Amino acid sequence: MTDADAVLRIADLRRACLMLLDAAESRFGPQIQLSQLSVDHYWNVDLRAAFAMVPRPELEIDCGQSSDDLAELSSLLQRDPEDVVSLWHDIAHVSGLLRLLAYLDLPDSGEVRGN
């Protein structure tokens, strides 16, 4: 793919997310009890540092928390549809939960599967 061909189509991303979430539900069940997992915190690289390819990314690492991501997801879903969505903030929390699903699928994660 050349740079000229590189176009992110939101519809394609939506379809891919649906496919992946369907696969996760098939693998883990319709819900995952976070309190049964041995993980909650994870390393996170600041968005600006990640995309600016800073020379010392280790200086830009902070800590994310799956339980906080879940609380933010719940808050997002309870908002009035007319409320302003903060894409950078809300997507970061959703991506934290998606990364948790990816972690749980690792062959050697040793985590409890869904309920």
Q: What is the pLDDT of residues 14-30, one digit of tens each?
A: 999 999 999 999 999 99
Specify whether the CB–CB gap between 40 and 47 falls below 8 A.
no
**What token pair was written down for 70?**
């879940």
Specify whether the CB–CB gap between 71 and 78 falls below 8 A.
no
Stated pTM of the model: 0.88
Tokens 């394609």 identify what position? 12
DSSP 100: H
**Each residue of 59-109: pLDDT tens digit?**
999 999 999 999 999 999 999 988 988 999 999 999 999 999 999 999 987
**What token pair was written down for 22?**
């369907």
**Each residue of 32-55: pLDDT tens digit?**
999 999 999 999 999 999 999 999
Task: Check whether 1 has a pLDDT greater than 70.
Answer: no
